[in-house]
Structure 1
């Protein structure tokens, strides 16, 4: 990573990186009704945290240019290299106003990701019992991941994240040379390891 990117990375708060959660939570909100129907997220449930994979988590298959269309599996990184993986967890704030803002940001982020250089694959997942969403994104490099973080659609979501996501959101990233390390389970494990109580 270049010194410039390292300095930018240090200055980015978890609030900023957490805006990537908008993609997964947009899927949840697109299926939700108004406040008068549905169930409120169970954010007070100790099982509903970034570090504990939800029992009813429903994950879409990985998709993107790094996924083999015949097998549906992620292709390994080039020999001698690794991928950068980012994992996020969050629960959308309740209310029609938050839902409307979510859909606006979700559309912009979807469009950005569709042409984002360096994105190898992405997986969106959701839990009905916790009202939560997760993302797992695979990047060709850390620099390319942060290029997305600083993209216009993501910066706009960063500025609005506190109006969109409950404050218990979580995010982490790591390097993986093996596709076996690229799972929602690994993301939850790494989020748990980064929680203040785990240090």
Structure 2
């Protein structure tokens, strides 16, 4: 697993940084494991390995709309942050491991993760995406602040998911986050670009 972009975590979170926001990955991948295909890991076709990475947008990615209390129901767009402030945005990518044991563990964890996300203060919007060809899932979450995001990171359901992440996900999973006041740029495509930049060699 690759966890990058969480370089300014509070000290209480540093020990858990290797699994930060792993629960969000697990939430996105739940639908894949719940029967979108009969292939192990949820894959329905063979995609080239180079096309199935966090830094490449899957050609068949299917995503739900960005939804949550921070989204204007009339326009479907994210409301801007208060003047002079910014949002924290987190993004994840992951591919579930195959096997019945993985499915059983997902069932144990998935409900608690869903409940925690649904009632999480400061979570303004979330978007889930999945690719059948890669068997992968992505999440994009918008938080009122970095502190609000860390409250979720340190929540009990998320900590349990952190402990299970390496068991449930292939080691290529990625999480990152950033702050922005530009709501139009908060998209899954932008999250892919940011993940790709993490892998770019230093100049």
TM (normalized to structure 1)? 0.89
Q: How far apart are residue 151 of structure 1 and its match?
A: 0.4
Query: After the TM superposition, which residues 58-137 of structure 1 pair with which residues of structure 2 at under 5 Å, given as runs?
Result: 58-137=62-141
Once the two structures are superposed, what CA deviation does each residue of 1:149-186 show, in whole Å capped at 9, x if it has no partner?
11010000001111110000011100010112211011
CA RMSD of aligned residues (A): 2.3
Which has the larger displacement, 78-87 or 94-103?
94-103
Give unmatched runs, 5+ long, in structure 2: 1-7
Change (3 A) 1:42 1:86: farther
Q: Who is 1:53 aligned against? A: 57
Q: 2:156 aligns with which of 145, 152, 158?
A: 152
Which secondary structure does the structure 2 equivalent of 1:46 belong to? helix
TM (normalized to structure 2)? 0.87
Alpha-carbon distance between aligned partners in 2 of 1:106 and 1:193, rounded to the nearest angstrom: 30
Once the two structures are superposed, what CA deviation does each residue of 1:48-76 show, in whole Å capped at 9, x if it has no partner?
00011111111100111101112221111
Which has the larger displacement, 159-168 or 5-14?
5-14
2:32–2:42 CA contact under 8 A, matched in 1: no
Which secondary structure does the structure 1 equivalent of 2:60 belong to? coil
1:67–1:74 CA contact under 8 A, matched in 2: yes
Which secondary structure does the structure 2 equivalent of 1:124 belong to? strand
Give unmatched runs, 5+ long, in structure 1: none
Q: Who is 1:29 aligned against? A: 33
Q: How far apart are residue 33 of structure 1 and its match?
A: 5.5
Alpha-carbon distance between aligned partners in 2 of 1:15 and 1:57, rounded to the nearest angstrom: 24
Alpha-carbon distance between aligned partners in 2 of 1:60 and 1:54, rounded to the nearest angstrom: 15
Q: 1:178 aligns with which of 159, 162, 182?
A: 182
Aligned residue pairs, count: 195
Q: How far apart are residue 106 of structure 1 and its match?
A: 1.6
Which has the larger displacement, 72-81 or 7-16?
7-16
Is 1:198 the counterpart of 2:201 in the alignment?
yes
